[in-house]
Structure 1
Amino acid sequence: MKSEIKQRLEALRAEMKKLGIDAWYISGTDPHSSEYLPKRWETREYISGFTGSYGLVAVTLDNAALWTDSRYFLQATQELEGTGIEMMKLRVPDAVSPESWLSENLPARSKVGLDTKSLTVDAFRNLEKGFLKKDIELTETPDLFDAIWEDRPAIPSDKAFELDLKYAGVGRSEKQQKISRELAEHGADIHVISMLDELAWLYNLRGSDVPYNPVFTAFAIIGENANVLFVDSDKIDSELKTKLENDGVQLKDYNTFFEYLAEIKDKTIFVDPSTLNFAAYNALAQNNEIVDGTSLVAIQKAVKNETELEGFRSAMKKDGVALVECLHWLKETIGKETVTDYEFGVKLAEFRAKQDGFKGESFPPIVGYKSRGALVHLHIGPDDGLPLEADGVVLFDSGGQYISGTTDITRTVALGAVSEQFKTDFTLTLKGMIGLTQAKFPYGVKGCHLDILARQALWENGLNYGHGTGHGVGHFLNVHEGPMSIRLEYNENLMLPGQVLSNEPAFYREGEYGLRTENMMVCVEREKTAFGRFLGFDTLTLCPIDTSLIKIDLLTEKERKWLNDYHLWVNAELKPLLENKYHKFLDVLTEQI
């Protein structure tokens, strides 16, 4: 594989020379700013061999580098070894940005090429700003992977399907009308939608173009007098086509999107520069006024309606049943027959698949045994599984797609003896998860204001973790969604009632172990006082937390009460849904401390 990567880099450099460019920048995404990608756009993995879900690549005629964040530092170092590609860190102090690296590695008046269909407006602007001092020119190029990638996969042609109103809660016409009213408040005529999960939500459609994400490949423009969905006609059968047209949706071929944009004139267009690709923006900016802002669809999608929230609660019960059954299987199997961490990940999916309405996993399972737990987004195959033994802990981060909702959970469970240091680390991290769960805060608070609650106990002991604490979760959609988040970095989007987020503080000791406890929660109204509106979080996830790993004396009475109350709730919700043979096991898992 390493030799193949070197050959691909040389082929890319040959194409760069033909175009007279000195470097080529690879965004690592697709024209829709997707995190998980259709095979056609897995360009980062193709050119580097790095399999993580986030990373940027820059290739000069002499050097190459890949940037990623702390989730993947260890993984990227291992996967890039021997390829000639340097691993660079992002989202840490003193990180060297791609534009800085390119400025250092290129002489003045060099040309950096890029495919603007797979680069966001914000990313283009950041590169442009970073190159100003060095007098480096950004040059639009064709997608060079078309020239070097033999048998490059086509865009998937799988059928889209309708999400029934009993699950969606609100019809697509009503959603479109609400977006149109909000557009008017921004003085805009048209909103351009390019994110696949936003399109799926807006039109109450789902698909299977992207592994783990039930989305389909498309673009759209909507407004008071516009509702055009650009999608491959093979994806929409005649019955669904009729339904969409009856709801005022005009269907056009996916490949006509950019031509259509170029024909729009004298309009005010609302775009999200953090997600819209620069090629689309550029096509519109020639003849129209542009208004930048967070996607109105993303904001609406993140605030779940009551039907969606009930769907999440239903999915959580099914997920909890599957997880208890799987943990029981693990306990009965360890020490009696050989099971690898990879096989445990497969079993998690098998137990979920027994549940009614299960539609697949929401992301590849992350199972880290012992020192592998420190690899934050570890993905292992059948050939590199590590046998689980009655010793240490296993961390598993996994989730399910159910027709009624999406789940994401992490638990760290003991398979045998652990050190006192591990118990301390586990308890300090758990205190952070409980602290964020119990947060009560005024309306107007953003995720960066809350992040300290998850880190405080760790910080007080000189400890920390490098990734974010909470991300949005879609409704039978992408397991990672915005626009809000809970992390140290500033994000202007508020915490709002109805938003569903993860809560996943963690801790990792490289070469020793990793641990993480993750629940999903929903933002809710708490009370109104003379000092304003106060919000909080209700937990959605139903699964026991391993109390054998806790140093009880490190918990406050309030934290201990929360944990005991949580376990009483888990027991009460799951026991009626479990076969009798699991009842005693569940009672042990939820014992009061």
Structure 2
Amino acid sequence: MFQSFAAGADPTQGGPRLARLRVAMAEAGLQGFLVPRADAHQGEYVAVRDERLSWLTGFTGSAGFAVVLPGIAGVFIDGRYRVQVRAQVDLAAYTPVPWPETQPGPWIAQHLGAGVVGFDPWLHTADEIARLEAALSGSGVTLRACANLVDAIWPDQPPPPQGRAFAHPDDMAGQSSAEKRAALAAGLRKAGVRAAVITLPDSLCWLLNIRGADVPRNPVLHGFALLSDDARVTLFADPAKFDAATRAHLGDEVDLQPPAALEAALRALTGPVLVDRATAPLAIWQLLEGAGIAVQTGDDPCRLPKACKTPAEIVATRTAHLRDGAAVVQFLRWLDETHPTRPLTEIDAVTALEGFRRATNALHDLSFDTICGAGPHGAIIHYRVTEETNRPLGQDTLLLVDSGAQYRDGTTDITRTLPLGDPGDEARACYTRVLQGLIAISRCRFPKGLAGRDLDALARAPLWMAGLDYDHGTGHGVGAFLSVHEGPQRLSRLSDVPLQPGMILSNEPGYYREGAFGIRLENLIVVTEAPPLGDNRAQLCFETLTFAPFDRRLIVTAMLAPGERVWIDAYHAEVLAKIGPLLDAATQDWLKAACAPL
């Protein structure tokens, strides 16, 4: 099994560890300390060594941070984790704080009054610290960069990850590393920049056509890179992670150096040097500015080209989704036929789904730990089942299953919500509204230049009409055998990045009723040029990549508009045509019934 069901951090240790951290703060002359869920590379996913927030507080969500003060320790979490945080932290020691509604600056000023708050400059971006300093201006609270105090009190902190790097084939990437480096170097020269600092693991993996194993569920390598305007790259990563074949794949224009060489190399640069204030750790800025090197602010040059997949990447991704769709359909049939005959638990369902993916003989890893929530667990948006929380699937409720896989040819992410017996008319009505939101995004045509924030409301409108909503974005970017959460593209009211052809996104509206059930439906989609229509304005649309049926037993057909019903029937016909030939005869028969016209 890739997925483990052992409990994560121990919330009973939260209080004692908090007490030790406060002692360390006092010894350092600090009245506060910031504990982010971040590593030095500022990616969303972190290695076990860098799970400082989880180790300290017990909270295991993929986003959030803690602010520890002498009299209060706040755990700041967004709408995805409001239920989860209360179940995972010791509420006698930690106070959940709704974020971004509550910003850390005013909160610190209110609860501290005056004093010094420490932070590790490798774990925070320049933008993040600048915003916090501005919010604290005049409050009597100042910030101080310092050594990491959590590391100082974590006696058995795991060592740095030692996953092996390996080559990602040029034909699957659609471009060689040399071609990518040349294109980006030309952009640096045009901007008058001598070098760019690359800090995001998926950016350097994309740039060099390599993959790694330093972060669970994400085939990325920990490291930093300096891209020069002559297209040469210095890669700072542990040389022990590279065998002879991978070193040869890097080529002569990529110089591999140990991570300890980074600081001296930064000080030796000739500016201007491009650094992304939104993703690079503040320590990078401090090193460059301390050496008197001119720094130019700009986006990570890899992020946008990486987001716009090549035709080869899209072809490979389609293949991965067909393989994955067949595994998911096998799981759906297994659940449909097995649940009525014997008791099942959430762990049983997760184990079975992974088994069907493993049977493809192409599974590299999961793309994230499967979210499988029965009944009220479905309302915990990023629920992860453990041996302690494992729940019987039960009867007359819903089961939410959000899962994905890493194949060498693509990354998948799919969510289906399924009936366990008769969940009731209210659950079916909510399910139908969520499905209508997914359909609205799937069918959308939109002018070039629009961003995710311009489309997000389309998915929410059916829910809004019933006074309902969900507290997460409608969709995130997805990599090509890279991170399942990829920027800068998103379907979100916060995203101002224009959508471009080749961008892959999730389409996943939802609805969650705490203590009762959760509903989420998700397909992956790719932005494409829209065919000519009307007065031939330049427009874009979405191609659906994910193929597995929606459960017809949960669809209230009378609620659907004619166009919505046509879309569902056409989608199910495509599922049958694409996935059916990949299945055995009995599963084909099951799929034919599941995809019958409404």
TM-score between both structures, scaled by the size of structure 1: 0.96
The answer as to whether partners of 1:335 and 1:389 remain within 8 angstroms in 2 is: no
Deviations 1:408-443 (A, max 9, x none): 000011121121111111111111110011111111
Paired position in structure 1 for 2:111: 105
Task: Identify the range of structure 1 (255-264 vs 149-158) with the bigger mean alpha-carbon deviation.
Answer: 255-264
Paired position in structure 2 for 1:84: 93
Matched, 1:56 2:65: yes
Say which SS state the counterpart of residue 117 (structure 1) adopts.
coil
Paired position in structure 2 for 1:29: 38
The answer as to whether partners of 2:367 and 2:413 remain within 8 angstroms in 1 is: yes
One-letter amino acid of the structure 1 residue matched with residue 508 of structure 2: E
Paired position in structure 2 for 1:510: 514
One-letter amino acid of the structure 1 residue matched with residue 233 of structure 2: N
Paired position in structure 2 for 1:236: 242
Paired position in structure 2 for 1:484: 489
Shift in Å, 1:527 = 4.0
Say which SS state the counterpart of residue 524 (structure 2) adopts.
strand
Say which SS state the counterpart of residue 378 (structure 2) adopts.
helix
Q: What is the alpha-carbon distance in structure 1 between the residues aligned to residue 449 and residue 192 of structure 2?
A: 24
Deviations 1:308-349 (A, max 9, x none): 101110011111110111111112211322210122112111
Matched, 1:313 2:318: yes
Matched, 1:498 2:502: yes
Structure 1 residue runs of 5 or longer lacking an equivalent are none
Shift in Å, 1:2 = 4.0
Shift in Å, 1:531 = 6.6
Shift in Å, 1:383 = 3.4
Q: What is the alpha-carbon distance in structure 2 between the residues aligned to residue 403 and residue 464 of structure 1?
A: 36
Shift in Å, 1:3 = 4.2
Shift in Å, 1:223 = 2.3
Say which SS state the counterpart of residue 388 (structure 2) adopts.
helix
Equivalent residue pairs, number: 586
Q: What is the alpha-carbon distance in structure 2 between the residues aligned to residue 158 and residue 482 of structure 1?
A: 24
The partner residue of 2:23 within 14, 19, 26 is 14
Output aligned runs, 1:563-574, within 5 Å.
563-574=568-579
Q: What is the alpha-carbon distance in structure 2 between the residues aligned to residue 307 and residue 182 of structure 1?
A: 23
Q: What is the alpha-carbon distance in structure 1 between the residues aligned to residue 11 and residue 395 of structure 2?
A: 36
The answer as to whether partners of 2:375 and 2:393 remain within 8 angstroms in 1 is: no
Deviations 1:169-219 (A, max 9, x none): 211111111111122233322111111111111111111111100111100
Q: What is the alpha-carbon distance in structure 1 between the residues aligned to residue 439 and residue 11 of structure 2?
A: 44
One-letter amino acid of the structure 2 residue matched with residue 354 of structure 1: A
Matched, 1:401 2:439: no
The answer as to whether partners of 1:23 and 1:61 remain within 8 angstroms in 2 is: yes
Say which SS state the counterpart of residue 484 (structure 1) adopts.
strand
One-letter amino acid of the structure 2 residue matched with residue 278 of structure 1: L
Q: What is the alpha-carbon distance in structure 1 between the residues aligned to residue 347 and residue 128 of structure 2?
A: 36
Shift in Å, 1:135 = 3.2
Q: What is the alpha-carbon distance in structure 1 between the residues aligned to residue 529 and residue 11 of structure 2?
A: 53
Matched, 1:227 2:236: no
Say which SS state the counterpart of residue 24 (structure 1) adopts.
strand
Shift in Å, 1:98 = 1.4
Paired position in structure 2 for 1:455: 460
The partner residue of 1:4 within 13, 18, 21 is 13
Change (3 A) 1:591 1:531: closer
Q: What is the alpha-carbon distance in structure 2 between the residues aligned to residue 44 and residue 60 of structure 1?
A: 15
Matched, 1:525 2:529: yes
Matched, 1:425 2:430: yes
Q: What is the alpha-carbon distance in structure 2 between the residues aligned to residue 477 and residue 336 of structure 1?
A: 39
Q: What is the alpha-carbon distance in structure 2 between the residues aligned to residue 243 and residue 580 of structure 1?
A: 43
Paired position in structure 1 for 2:285: 281
Q: What is the alpha-carbon distance in structure 2 between the residues aligned to residue 551 and residue 245 of structure 1?
A: 58
Deviations 1:112-161 (A, max 9, x none): 10000011111111111111131321101011223111121111122101
The partner residue of 1:38 within 37, 40, 47 is 47
RMSD: 1.4
Change (3 A) 1:183 1:532: farther
Q: What is the alpha-carbon distance in structure 2 between the residues aligned to residue 245 and residue 569 of structure 1?
A: 43
TM-score between both structures, scaled by the size of structure 2: 0.96
Paired position in structure 1 for 2:223: 218
Paired position in structure 2 for 1:361: 366
Structure 2 residue runs of 5 or longer lacking an equivalent are 1-9
Q: What is the alpha-carbon distance in structure 1 between the residues aligned to residue 544 and residue 458 of structure 2?
A: 16
Paired position in structure 2 for 1:330: 335
One-letter amino acid of the structure 2 residue matched with residue 25 of structure 1: L
Shift in Å, 1:467 = 0.5
Output aligned runs, 1:174-323, within 5 Å.
174-225=179-230, 226-246=232-252, 248-265=253-270, 267-286=271-290, 287-323=292-328
Paired position in structure 2 for 1:158: 163
One-letter amino acid of the structure 2 residue matched with residue 318 of structure 1: R
Q: What is the alpha-carbon distance in structure 1 between the residues aligned to residue 555 and residue 83 of structure 2?
A: 28
One-letter amino acid of the structure 2 residue matched with residue 514 of structure 1: G
Change (3 A) 1:2 1:421: closer
Deviations 1:36-86 (A, max 9, x none): 211110000011011111111111122211001111100101112345110
Q: What is the alpha-carbon distance in structure 2 between the residues aligned to residue 474 and residue 120 of structure 1?
A: 23
Say which SS state the counterpart of residue 116 (structure 1) adopts.
coil
Deviations 1:69-109 (A, max 9, x none): 11110010111234511001113xxx22112111111123x
Q: What is the alpha-carbon distance in structure 2 between the residues aligned to residue 76 and residue 403 of structure 1?
A: 34
Change (3 A) 1:243 1:402: closer
The answer as to whether partners of 1:357 and 1:404 remain within 8 angstroms in 2 is: no
